[in-house]
A and B are shown apart, each in its own frame.
Chain A
Amino acid sequence: MFDVVIIGAGVIGSSVARALSKYQLKVLVLEKHNDVCEETSKANSGIVHSGYDAKTGTLKAKFNLLGNRMMADFCKKYRVPYRNNGSLVLAFEDEDIQKLDELKKQGMKNGVERLRILSKDEVHEMEPNLNDSVVGALYAPTGGIVDPFELTIAQAEIANMNGVEFRFNSLVKSISKSKDHFLINFNDEIIESKTVINCAGVFSDEINNMVSEYKLHITPRKGEYCLFDKEVGHYVDKTIFQLPTAYGKGVLVTPTAENNLLIGPTAYDVIDKRDSSTSPEGLKEVLAKASQSIKKVPTGFIITAFSGLRATESKGDFVIGEAKDVPGFFNAAGIESPGLTAAPAIGDYLSSVVAQKLNADIKSNYLDNREEIIRFEPLSIEDKASLIKKNHEFGKIICRCEMVTLAEIKDAIHRPLGATTIDGVKRRTRAGAGRCQGGFCGPRVLEILSKELNKDPREITKFDQQAILLVGLDKETL
């Protein structure tokens, strides 16, 4: 019998797991993919929103602000790439300045600090590459950017170090309640738990609806992006929004925490919750809209395109807390934007509620940090030299674009909840995330995975179990 079963290992499930791992509880995370961070948490803007955007009084507004305030220290402590770059909301018409002012007022009500309206001259001085048509902006100095993969992975790792069990390739098919505990059916196995926390992203309505009569309804809303080479990563410094429309925040242009340039997302409702494909129309729209904000969209530097699905709940707000009709069943459902920002705060909040319910005590031996992660590339020549002396595998560069070494890849594989796939290595080390997108290092990473995990190269996948890379040997089918 588990004390807590968490369904979903996105940033929300991982945050909850991290926060719960402080307590003397038996916790299990069930995730249908074979790694953490395989759905919405891997495909978003990576913005730490300052919090002016959400309607005052909503859970979105509350957890956004809490999350934003935690983020800098949190990321420093857990070694997650983060930068407090600030954000701008652009106005293109004089009458829009009025709307900026409303936004500013809402922000102040939400508790956002230091919001300021900038004049045309001020904006252009701050961001020289903005389009001339920009007439003013709302400046939010508390906005930031974060690496969404690491934010998820770091928390999952801490949870795991503190005894939380993760089972991957585990699709939860049904949940039922029997007297004082839950029976959870996944992969035709049934386990028992005193409580359940639903962190299933776009599927969180389905999980909720398995046990609660208070039905949720989530519409997946797709957002498509283009990612650009580091060469143009400093084209803008701040995160550049456009004034919101009925369909969300418009298109943004931002540096990422890893110094690429990102533009997007679109916002279209889709039917299939598994559809994260990109479309010609979407990519065209993103490029067109971005060209309103910045002088020149550097289309020659696109290195990839991707899309993510927002879990838009019909009432428009996060659903967080115990289901009214099912004691012991907790939701973190409908966590769309600003979910990434809010995640650590949602995790802290839900864990304390659940721990209280279970009367759990704090562990005495809680490990509140992860082991150091060494990034070779940014080091000085001297530091590089001394590092290779300590561990010669830092002298072997596997990914030439991002300068990732063998030592870093091996570390990513052998850490708690380490990488088992090509994408897993990429998200943890950035090998393959650069301009050649794994063309050079792909076969090398595959070889390392196969060696370190003691698996046949044909068993190594890109992600999940079915995303096979090598189908056989030469001549095998002859």
Chain B
Amino acid sequence: MPTKEMICISCPMGCMLSVDYDETGVLKVTGNQCKRGEIYASKEVINPRRVVTSIVPVIGGVEDMVSVKTATDIPKDLMKDCILALKNIKVQAPVEIGQVILENVCGTNVCVIATKRVEKKL
């Protein structure tokens, strides 16, 4: 039964996790200080996922750019593709926090949403 040591990245505590797993999945997680550590470990061993953040241009806003993120984590391998998918995207002001910027990014079923409010330029 293989064991993997990893650092939980779910929060800034950065717990040192020890994960026992086999073909059927994760058997045991130790070292976590909360439930999220366990969830993280299970995902990280089988299908590592990350939240991706970036910015996209705003047209007619009080600011030129707005920050965005994937609404939930997406497969780690798709991080670069996700940024690429945002390359030619522009949004019209006003932008609200949580507003969908791009749906189903890279076929993940996850939306990219705005994380900042940008008002319209008067």
Interface string of A448-475 (1 = CB under 8 A from B): 0000000000000000000000000011
Residues from chain A with Cβ under 8 Å of B86 in the complex: 475
CA distance A474 to B90 in the complex (A): 13
Residues from chain B with Cβ under 8 Å of A478 in the complex: 80, 83-84, 87
By size class, the interface of chain A is: under 10
Residues from chain A with Cβ under 8 Å of B84 in the complex: 475, 478
Interface string of A399-430 (1 = CB under 8 A from B): 00000000000000000000000000000000
Residues from chain A with Cβ under 8 Å of B87 in the complex: 475, 478
Give A473's nearest chain B residue, CB to CB: B57
Interface size on B, residues (CB 8 A): 7
Interface string of A284-302 (1 = CB under 8 A from B): 0000000000000000000
Q: How far is the CB of A204 from chain B (nearest CB, A)?
A: 47
CA distance A474 to B87 in the complex (A): 8
CA distance A1 to B14 in the complex (A): 74
Interface string of B51-78 (1 = CB under 8 A from A): 0001100000000000000000000000
**Which of B54, B55, B80, B87 neighbours the largest number of chain A CB atoms within 10 Å of its CB?**
B87
Residues from chain B with Cβ under 8 Å of A474 in the complex: 54-55
CA distance A475 to B84 in the complex (A): 7
Give A475's nearest chain B residue, CB to CB: B87
CA distance A478 to B79 in the complex (A): 13
Residues from chain A with Cβ under 8 Å of B55 in the complex: 474
Give A474's nearest chain B residue, CB to CB: B55
Q: How far is the CB of B112 from chain A (nearest CB, A)?
A: 13
Q: How far is the CB of A129 from chain B (nearest CB, A)?
A: 45
Residues from chain B with Cβ under 8 Å of A475 in the complex: 54, 83-84, 86-87
Residues from chain A with Cβ under 8 Å of B54 in the complex: 474-475
Interface string of A181-204 (1 = CB under 8 A from B): 000000000000000000000000
CA distance A42 to B2 in the complex (A): 64
CA distance A219 to B18 in the complex (A): 65
Give A478's nearest chain B residue, CB to CB: B84
Q: How far is the CB of A32 from chain B (nearest CB, A)?
A: 36
CA distance A478 to B86 in the complex (A): 11
Chain B residues 73 to 106 lying within 8 A of chain A, measured CB to CB, are 80, 83-84, 86-87
CA distance A174 to B80 in the complex (A): 53
Q: How far is the CB of A127 from chain B (nearest CB, A)?
A: 51
CA distance A366 to B55 in the complex (A): 55
Q: How far is the CB of B84 from chain A (nearest CB, A)?
A: 5
Give B55's nearest chain A residue, CB to CB: A474
Q: How far is the CB of B120 from chain A (nearest CB, A)?
A: 21
Q: How far is the CB of A477 from chain B (nearest CB, A)?
A: 10
CA distance A478 to B87 in the complex (A): 8
Give B89's nearest chain A residue, CB to CB: A475
CA distance A129 to B84 in the complex (A): 60
Q: How far is the CB of A321 from chain B (nearest CB, A)?
A: 57
Interface string of A232-243 (1 = CB under 8 A from B): 000000000000
**11 A–B contacts, CB within 8 A, in A order:** A474-B54, A474-B55, A475-B54, A475-B83, A475-B84, A475-B86, A475-B87, A478-B80, A478-B83, A478-B84, A478-B87
List the 10 shortest-distance A-B pairs measured between CB atoms, nearest first.
A475-B87, A478-B84, A478-B87, A475-B83, A478-B83, A474-B55, A475-B86, A475-B84, A474-B54, A478-B80
